[in-house]
Homo-oligomer: A and B are copies of this chain.
């Protein structure tokens, strides 16, 4: 079992789960209710033998767009601005409740099967209700929000336009319905798309709603140099300072990307405890750049990881993100920067912070939610075991090594199989919906 006490430490141990939480972690065989045929006071619902496997905290991705899972492979090799105007916005504009539902099911299935147990998610402008229904069914922990955009950026289709009031009213109504649903597994975030598509009043109101509901704020920031310059031109402020001025900062806020931030902005992010979500695949694939994660950490920033969407990755694979996050800094700063253990912290403790759930998830500790993954590490690519379990997870392991996944102690994946929905149905419906969206958006 992989425990975090200062650093990562392997212990041969059992974990006892009760009421969705970790009730005890103890040396193998010593705890009641876990031994074969043993009679503890509390009969566990499920005894799962994990001998020979590695039990790790569920991995967390703090920037995901489930609504883009159906767009996988439809928007390759384009830079962010064209990617948005030629593909993503036209496709999002034709989404229906049904396509949003299956997009979320497909993405959540991929995430769970690959060991991601919790996400911070940004949906599209409409039909977010459908995404929550999918999340409720599939069993992933999610902090999700409808995309807010009331200013109309160049190239965006009219179907995505909303008035400030309509946008806020729908976000609030979603929060009333879903914040804390499914026993607390589902939560709402307020998710302005990015500064160029949001008015100041919308951003301020989103911040106030987040405060009111005790919810997170989730947006994009400083993703490309074009965005940085646009914000500077239109607001007169650097992006991080502007976001701060409208209340999008502090521990409630998770800013995806932050590729283009200078030393002053890093200091501001650190001072206020704002969460930065590093999305290395997405930043590379869209040609946005490489976020200076070691410098952000050095400045004291809170950093998490995310795959972004399948339309710009094209995986939702936390193992791919961890490995890439570690590798891409080394040519610039040396082979010893961002070692494996540090990266694994970003995908666990860092993710928990960005979701506003640091007391609930992110490590295997008594009292925390039982979000656990079990890795079967007998295949050649993870052999021999090596000296450092974090190295094994970050540099060698892959999503397909995840055997079992528990969220709130519920088995959502067992023996590499999704327990909460039929994969065949998801694949079939997703294929059908994707074809429909392509036709409706007049792509190929």
Across the interface, A380 reaches (CB within 8 A) one of B110, B286, B330, B386, namely: B110
**Contact present for A109 and B380 (CB under 8 Å):** yes
Interfacial residues of chain A within 108-135, with CB under 8 A of chain B in the complex: 109-110, 113-114
Task: Give Cα A177 to B48, complex, Å.
Answer: 52
Interfacial residues of chain A within 287-340, with CB under 8 A of chain B in the complex: 287-290, 310, 313-317, 320, 323-324, 326-328, 330-331, 333-336, 339-340
CB proximity of A107 to chain B, nearest CB, Å: 8
User: Can you name the residue of chain B whose Cβ is closest to the Cβ of A338?
Assistant: B77
Q: A281 on the interface (CB 8 Å rule)?
A: yes
Across the interface, A395 reaches (CB within 8 A) one of B313, B336, B392, B431, namely: B313
**Contact present for A339 and B76 (CB under 8 Å):** yes
Q: A220 on the interface (CB 8 Å rule)?
A: no
Q: A147 on the interface (CB 8 Å rule)?
A: no
**Contact present for A339 and B380 (CB under 8 Å):** no
Q: How many copies does the complex hold?
A: 2
CB proximity of A433 to chain B, nearest CB, Å: 8
- Report B-chain residues with C-beta under 8 Å of the C-beta of A289: 331
Task: Give Cα A289 to B310, complex, Å.
Answer: 28
Task: Give Cα A70 to B385, complex, Å.
Answer: 10
Q: A388 on the interface (CB 8 Å rule)?
A: yes
Q: Are A430 and B316 CB-contacts (below 8 A) given A73-B395, A327-B281?
A: no
User: Can you name the residue of chain B whose Cβ is closest to the Cβ of A330?
Assistant: B287
User: Can you name the residue of chain B whose Cβ is closest to the Cβ of A331?
Assistant: B289
**Contact present for B79 and A336 (CB under 8 Å):** yes
Q: Are A430 and B331 CB-contacts (below 8 A) given A73-B396, A391-B314?
A: no
Q: Mark A251-290, 1 if CB is under 8 A from B, else 0.
A: 0000000000000000000000000000001011111111
- Report B-chain residues with C-beta under 8 Å of the C-beta of A286: 330, 335
**Contact present for B106 and A383 (CB under 8 Å):** yes
**Contact present for B334 and A380 (CB under 8 Å):** no
Q: Are A316 and B381 CB-contacts (below 8 A) given A288-B331, A331-B287?
A: yes
**Contact present for B335 and A423 (CB under 8 Å):** no
Q: A93 on the interface (CB 8 Å rule)?
A: no
Q: A398 on the interface (CB 8 Å rule)?
A: yes
Q: A46 on the interface (CB 8 Å rule)?
A: no
**Contact present for B77 and A336 (CB under 8 Å):** yes
Q: Are A328 and B328 CB-contacts (below 8 A) given A72-B384, A73-B396, A384-B431?
A: yes
Q: Are A79 and B334 CB-contacts (below 8 A) given A384-B73, A391-B73?
A: yes
Across the interface, A285 reaches (CB within 8 A) one of B80, B330, B387, namely: B330
Task: Give Cα A323 to B321, complex, Å.
Answer: 12
- Report B-chain residues with C-beta under 8 Å of the C-beta of A392: 73
Across the interface, A77 reaches (CB within 8 A) one of B340, B386, B427, namely: B340
Given A313-B395, A380-B426, 17 other A-B residues pairs in contact with their CB atoms under 8 A:
A72-B384, A72-B386, A73-B395, A74-B387, A79-B334, A113-B380, A114-B381, A281-B327, A286-B330, A286-B335, A287-B331, A287-B334, A315-B396, A381-B399, A384-B430, A387-B444, A398-B400
21 contacts between A and B (CB under 8 A): A70-B384, A72-B383, A73-B391, A73-B392, A76-B391, A79-B336, A110-B379, A113-B381, A283-B331, A284-B330, A287-B330, A287-B334, A288-B331, A317-B381, A378-B427, A379-B423, A380-B423, A380-B427, A383-B427, A384-B430, A384-B435
Interface residue ranges, A against B (CB under 8 Å): 70, 72-74, 76-80, 83, 106-107, 109-110, 113-114, 281, 283-290, 310, 313-317, 320, 323-324, 326-328, 330-331, 333-336, 339-340, 378-381, 383-388, 391-392, 395-396, 398-400, 423-424, 426-427, 430-431, 434-435, 444
